[in-house]
Structure 1
């Protein structure tokens, strides 16, 4: 063992210790290591900085942007909405669909982002079904981790191993190279969680509804909107067809306040916020708020050519990504008290509708245009989230009190969803066909999303998780340093001396174990950076194909099921699921052993030794 190797191992040990301590941040530690290697004379400056030009780093950055485009266009949230509708009241069906949905979405975007999206969705479902969220949060996290085993671009460790193969002069993995094994592990994970959920908390989920922040459902209940919400279709013979809303005076004459209009489009129904210039068409579905539920009994629908439609749930909940609610209070210095709702002109001035009024903490039966406001009144306004956001600081006459939780799920480019899917499809087809390198395919998809206005430049830069990229760039030189100083050869010789006579499958199991245990202390990306060269050298020494060994490292790097700190995905669900450290050990360790068994059995079949 040379002095240079001792220095590299000492530096690596210090990095691992700081990673575990998490002070300073992991990306800072990686930069310190990147600076230390040239100062110690182990690598040249170009070698230490080579990670900045690595195609995998560019690809990972582009995938962050593409994932954010899927969120901004509502594709991710629509999958969550579909889950809510399809699962119904069955916990078993919910668990299966949840894991399938998360794994599918996570195969083309950040698993951490997918889990973050689904946490509030799962919390809401748990509250509705009166089950403890702990019975669903761990399956959610496990599905997020398994999603990294489904495609080449699903997680950075896959790309790191792919890049190491290319750097060794070998062909990398195809886009769907991981899929056969990943699907088997996903099926195993679903079956395992259906059995293991009995070990999770099973008390009722009443506490799941305890939130410090209102939801749309809370606001609708507080202002008694559910009694007045209706969906009305404009019939072909309706006198409303072809006319502007401000010409019809529906609110003043009939007590019908049109909030939004659903209109059938080429790809999907479009939701348009109602303004005075909205031109109604035959077939439109009006989302309305009635001044009184008795309006339907007065013959107004027949006179206006409107047909009532079934309303299974609040349309605010159905369109939460586009249609919002906000409470607006009148401060003491406001000049609005004494004016009527009509005189406020919220629709003409702010493109928002007043749909609720609370006085002395009691919601009024309905909001009439001639109601005069009093000091201390609180208004509930409805409209697009964009227009609601504009209310902040717009006037001294009113104050936005609070926004519901759903404001975090705003879809600013919801009408661009088909374009985002097209861009994603182009990227996948290019990667599968191999016509261009993967990094170029991802960059082309980013350009398409930008051209289609699925994402803007500011959002694109914000979507990139720079600490992850810096961590990868800073850890990549360690692989070269270990190779130059003989560290990789030493590790391979040690494994061969210990298990050389046991056969390749035993070595695969040993490689999986070492990789998974290393991933308990440092990030899965850094683990892949360190273990990929060991795997390739081990295969070379044995004279067998390197692909089973590289695949084993990639799968083991994603098998971070054993502790709540072994992956950001696990950390995200720790609080909402109210888990203890031991919960992950109890559920995660047996599952990791099962994943290792599947890996050792299937990898040699898919990638012959």
Structure 2
């Protein structure tokens, strides 16, 4: 092992540790990794920047625009709502949902599908006295399975496709991955619908849970005539930065003031609503003129008025709020919303709201003002998982179907090898813009720049593994271990290592690490690299056993009230089903 290979392996280990322990956002970790490889001379400037012009990455960027055009029409939620009907059988309802969801996610980004359908499913479950925790993990898994059916089904497929093109290989055809994955998708759906859902808990949603125990979350103080700061702003009264408490709303006769600003005037008779560490309310009772109210019938719904709404949201993988304290992120001003509670791993964080440092997957209970919808739509910081009273997007079903038909037309042209995937997406986006199906502003907002940065940096890291000889070195060790047991064992080990990586880091990062190794393994064993690459591509997407490996798993984590073990119980059998089916198909038809 040379010094350069040792250095690259060290950098790779540090990157993996950073991703596993969530030191900062994944895209920032990969950016620092790429920067170190560039500054150390392992990569040239051209090699480091190659990912930013890669065909796979650019195709993903354009698909964000296409997905936004279709999503704004509300096609997916209209179809699912109609299919659900009034059924009360979990198994039949899952069948009605998962088949179309799998189909949609084969040609659309699965993240917006899960974001769109999560609040719809939760409301439907509430209306029919069913637990949403029986439906949300299956929803996520169905979109992951559907994403393996086509080249554009998931960003991982396009990342691998782009890497193959960079190495001078032909890349995937549109349905090549799906040919291998189709049996796994069918078996996976049957497992979820017939057996898997029984392994899931029967939980209430966060909002219902909080309402049942509202006294643990909120407390009322009434302002008396002897309060020394009457008719003065909140800031002057010293109620802005309290120990353990956060002033979320003021109820003034028939008026409700929320979110509360530092300039809001306090008047006699005001009911001050606090959240946070309610146990510290005794400190407020020491202030002259403030009296604790103990209304037994007070609930969270009483906080709402015509301009405010209670909303649940999940912090995204790529949020600008990550690893910041809520008070340091200027949350109230940025989103016109106050945080009532934060749940992590299904447990409420018992701390002063402003002192809580946010992490991916945190479930937030928000009291939102009238500008929340507009401000939220301009951000990718979190996913809203409850229906909004005022939709943040304009629904135009006709334009949505038109976009979908155009997408299918482009897919046909790609399948017939008339156009490359990148050219087809360029034409499609241009048509959507020219025909005003989507505006330039909406197109710009649809780009998930942290995702694109992560993918672009990942390409450079993959190049470093190849050019430094690290991929060859690691491949030699893998071949020495697995080759004595035959080529089937080689495929199985590649799949298993990729699958383990994708459960603890991002799927794109797992694919980018393993693809250079698989190419070297193919060369050393003397087989066609495509079957090995196909195994890694599917393994990188098949993240079912943890909530952190795939973004859609993280989205439903809080809203479903799940624990980590819930993913393990339902996910490991599904991982095994997909693995054996994939390896069998590759061994039967390619080796």
The normalised TM-score by structure 2 is 0.68
Asked if 1:25 is matched to 2:25, the reply is yes
Q: Output one character per residue of 1:105-142: Cα deviation in whole Å (capped at 9) or x when no partner.
A: 11112111111111011101211221211111111111
Find the counterpart in structure 2 of residue 106 from structure 1.
Answer: 105
Find the counterpart in structure 1 of residue 581 from structure 2.
Answer: 598
Distance 1:15 1:83 in 2: 44
Distance 2:371 2:161 in 1: 51
Question: Is the 2:5–2:469 Cα contact (8 Å) retained in structure 1?
Answer: yes
Q: 1:495 aligns with which of 478, 487, 491?
A: 478
Question: Is the 1:147–1:154 Cα contact (8 Å) retained in structure 2?
Answer: yes
Give the 3-state SS of the residue equivalent to 2:549 in structure 1.
coil
CA RMSD of aligned residues (A): 2.6
Distance 1:401 1:23 in 2: 32
Question: Is the 2:205–2:559 Cα contact (8 Å) retained in structure 1?
Answer: no
Q: Per-residue deviation at 1:531?
A: 0.7
In structure 2, the CA distance between the partners of 1:56 and 1:91, relative to structure 1 (3 Å rule), is same
Question: Is the 2:188–2:577 Cα contact (8 Å) retained in structure 1?
Answer: no
Question: Is the 1:413–1:453 Cα contact (8 Å) retained in structure 2?
Answer: no
Asked if 1:504 is matched to 2:487, the reply is yes
Find the counterpart in structure 1 of residue 124 from structure 2.
Answer: 125
Question: Is the 1:564–1:584 Cα contact (8 Å) retained in structure 2?
Answer: yes
In structure 2, the CA distance between the partners of 1:379 and 1:524, relative to structure 1 (3 Å rule), is closer
Find the counterpart in structure 2 of residue 576 from structure 1.
Answer: 559
Find the counterpart in structure 2 of residue 558 from structure 1.
Answer: 541
Q: Per-residue deviation at 1:510?
A: 0.6
Question: Is the 1:110–1:154 Cα contact (8 Å) retained in structure 2?
Answer: yes
Find the counterpart in structure 2 of residue 518 from structure 1.
Answer: 501
Q: Per-residue deviation at 1:517?
A: 0.7
Give the 3-state SS of the residue equivalent to 1:579 in structure 2.
coil
Asked if 1:588 is matched to 2:571, the reply is yes
Find the counterpart in structure 2 of residue 72 from structure 1.
Answer: 72
Give the 3-state SS of the residue equivalent to 1:590 in structure 2.
helix
Asked if 1:567 is matched to 2:566, the reply is no
Q: Output one character per residue of 1:171-225: Cα deviation in whole Å (capped at 9) or x when no partner.
A: 211111122333322221222112122222247x69886798xxxxxxxxxxxxx
Asked if 1:446 is matched to 2:445, the reply is no
Find the counterpart in structure 2 of residue 528 from structure 1.
Answer: 511
Q: Per-residue deviation at 1:104?
A: 1.2
Q: 1:432 aligns with which of 408, 415, 437?
A: 415
Asked if 1:152 is matched to 2:139, the reply is no
Find the counterpart in structure 1 of residue 201 from structure 2.
Answer: 201
Q: Output one character per residue of 1:236-268: Cα deviation in whole Å (capped at 9) or x when no partner.
A: xxxxxxxxxxxxxxxxxxxxxxxxxxxxxxxxx
Consecutive aligned runs of 4 or more in structure 1 exceeding 4 Å deviation: 205-212, 329-332, 399-404
Asked if 1:459 is matched to 2:458, the reply is no
In structure 2, the CA distance between the partners of 1:581 and 1:47, relative to structure 1 (3 Å rule), is same
Q: Per-residue deviation at 1:97?
A: 2.0
In structure 2, the CA distance between the partners of 1:460 and 1:509, relative to structure 1 (3 Å rule), is same
Question: Is the 1:416–1:453 Cα contact (8 Å) retained in structure 2?
Answer: no
Question: Is the 1:106–1:114 Cα contact (8 Å) retained in structure 2?
Answer: yes
Distance 1:460 1:171 in 2: 30
Find the counterpart in structure 1 of residue 175 from structure 2.
Answer: 176
Question: Is the 1:73–1:420 Cα contact (8 Å) retained in structure 2?
Answer: no
Q: Output one character per residue of 1:433-460: Cα deviation in whole Å (capped at 9) or x when no partner.
A: 2212211111111111112222111111
Find the counterpart in structure 2 of residue 141 from structure 1.
Answer: 140
Q: Per-residue deviation at 1:400?
A: 6.9
Aligned length: 428
In structure 2, the CA distance between the partners of 1:70 and 1:400, relative to structure 1 (3 Å rule), is closer
Q: Output one character per residue of 1:48-81: Cα deviation in whole Å (capped at 9) or x when no partner.
A: 1111111111100011111111111222222222
Distance 1:167 1:437 in 2: 15
**Mean CA deviation greater in 433-442 or 414-423:** 414-423
Question: Is the 1:65–1:463 Cα contact (8 Å) retained in structure 2?
Answer: yes
Q: Per-residue deviation at 1:519?
A: 1.1
Find the counterpart in structure 1 of residue 406 from structure 2.
Answer: 423
Alignment of 1:218-367 (within 5 A): none
Question: Is the 1:107–1:154 Cα contact (8 Å) retained in structure 2?
Answer: yes
Find the counterpart in structure 1 of residue 185 from structure 2.
Answer: 186
Find the counterpart in structure 1 of residue 452 from structure 2.
Answer: 469
Q: Per-residue deviation at 1:23?
A: 2.6
Distance 1:455 1:136 in 2: 32
Distance 2:490 2:306 in 1: 68
Give the 3-state SS of the residue equivalent to 2:176 in structure 1.
coil
Find the counterpart in structure 2 of residue 44 from structure 1.
Answer: 44
Q: Output one character per residue of 1:289-338: Cα deviation in whole Å (capped at 9) or x when no partner.
A: xxxxxxxxxxxxxxxxxxxxxxxxxxxxxxxxxxxxxxxx9989xxxxxx
In structure 2, the CA distance between the partners of 1:409 and 1:102, relative to structure 1 (3 Å rule), is farther
In structure 2, the CA distance between the partners of 1:409 and 1:80, relative to structure 1 (3 Å rule), is farther
Find the counterpart in structure 1 of residue 366 from structure 2.
Answer: none
Question: Is the 2:458–2:509 Cα contact (8 Å) retained in structure 1?
Answer: yes
Give the 3-state SS of the residue equivalent to 1:405 in structure 2.
coil
Alignment of 1:80-91 (within 5 A): 80-85=80-85, 88-91=87-90
Distance 1:206 1:56 in 2: 38
Q: Per-residue deviation at 1:424?
A: 0.9
Unaligned runs of 5+ in 2: 212-252, 257-304, 308-335, 337-368, 374-386
Q: Per-residue deviation at 1:88?
A: 2.8
Give the 3-state SS of the residue equivalent to 1:599 in structure 2.
helix
Give the 3-state SS of the residue equivalent to 1:520 in structure 2.
helix
Question: Is the 2:70–2:401 Cα contact (8 Å) retained in structure 1?
Answer: no
Question: Is the 1:419–1:449 Cα contact (8 Å) retained in structure 2?
Answer: no
Distance 2:372 2:575 in 1: 44
Q: Output one character per residue of 1:260-281: Cα deviation in whole Å (capped at 9) or x when no partner.
A: xxxxxxxxxxxxxxxxxxxxxx
Question: Is the 1:123–1:208 Cα contact (8 Å) retained in structure 2?
Answer: no
Give the 3-state SS of the residue equivalent to 1:482 in structure 2.
helix
Q: Output one character per residue of 1:512-553: Cα deviation in whole Å (capped at 9) or x when no partner.
A: 100011112221001111111111221222222212111100
In structure 2, the CA distance between the partners of 1:202 and 1:451, relative to structure 1 (3 Å rule), is same
Find the counterpart in structure 2 of residue 60 from structure 1.
Answer: 60
Give the 3-state SS of the residue equivalent to 1:458 in structure 2.
helix
In structure 2, the CA distance between the partners of 1:537 and 1:209, relative to structure 1 (3 Å rule), is same
Question: Is the 2:69–2:438 Cα contact (8 Å) retained in structure 1?
Answer: yes
